[in-house]
Each structure stands twice: as structure tokens, then as C-alpha cells.
Amino acid sequence: MSSVAEFIEIRKSIETLAIKIALCVAQKSAQESKQHLDEANRQLEVLKPMVDNDVQVIVAGRLSRQLTGLGTKVEKMVAKLPARKRGAGKLPAGKKLERPVRPDNAEEPEIVVYERS
């Protein structure tokens, strides 16, 4: 049997990691948030077999839901990052277009006025 003190220590560690994950998501730090999330999930797997009473069952369920939600946020953030880093519409500094975007028209448009008869 594991002690209640061990359970509390692991719970506090997971909650601290959850706060760090939320901060990393807010700062858009994908790699750090994934590392913290992996560590928190590993600790949660250690915590689940230690559950001994109703209160601990509730705590384990809450932590599991919290980490699942944070995992979803991290996945969304990671999915969005490559699209932002590409800069598809931008040219590298110093490069110019070979032809202008809007060619100069030397001809003026011809305006035709129709009269009713």
C-alpha cells in the first residue's frame, strides 16, 4: 500500500506541471508544453494505481480530465505553428519581383456612350 503523503506529493507535482503547461500554451512554446504534458501523464499513470478512497478517485479523475484538456490545447497549438512559420505570401528580404504585380497599361480604356433613339 502506498501512503497518502506519496499520493499528495504526486498530485501536487501534476498540478504544478499543469500550471506550467497552461503558461507554455499561453506563450506558444510548443516543445516545452509537450515535455511537461508527457511528464504529467507519466506521473498520472503512477498516481492512478495509488487510489485508495473516494476522494482520491475524484482527484485522479479531475487530474485526468485536466490533462486531457491541456493535451487538446497543445495539439491545436502544434497544428497551427507550421502554418504561421511558413510565411507563404512573403518574399525573403532583398528579393524583388521580376515583373510588377499590376502591369502598367499605356492604353486608356475606351468609354462608349450609347444614346437612345
pLDDT at residue 93 is higher than 80: no
For residue 88, tell me if it sits in a domain: no
The pLDDT score that the predictor gives to residue 73 is: 92
For residue 90, tell me if it sits in a domain: no
Q: How many domains does the chain have?
A: 1
For residue 107, tell me if it sits in a domain: no
For residue 24, tell me if it sits in a domain: yes
- Is the model more confident about 99 or about 53? 53
Structural domain range at position 20: 4-81
Q: Retrieve residue 22's grid coordinates.
A: 497552461
The proportion of the chain whose per-residue pLDDT surpasses 70, expressed as a percent, equals: 75
How far does Cα 25 stand from its chain's mean position?
Answer: 6
Compute the distance between CA of residue 98 and CA of residue 77 in angstroms, rounded to an integer. 36
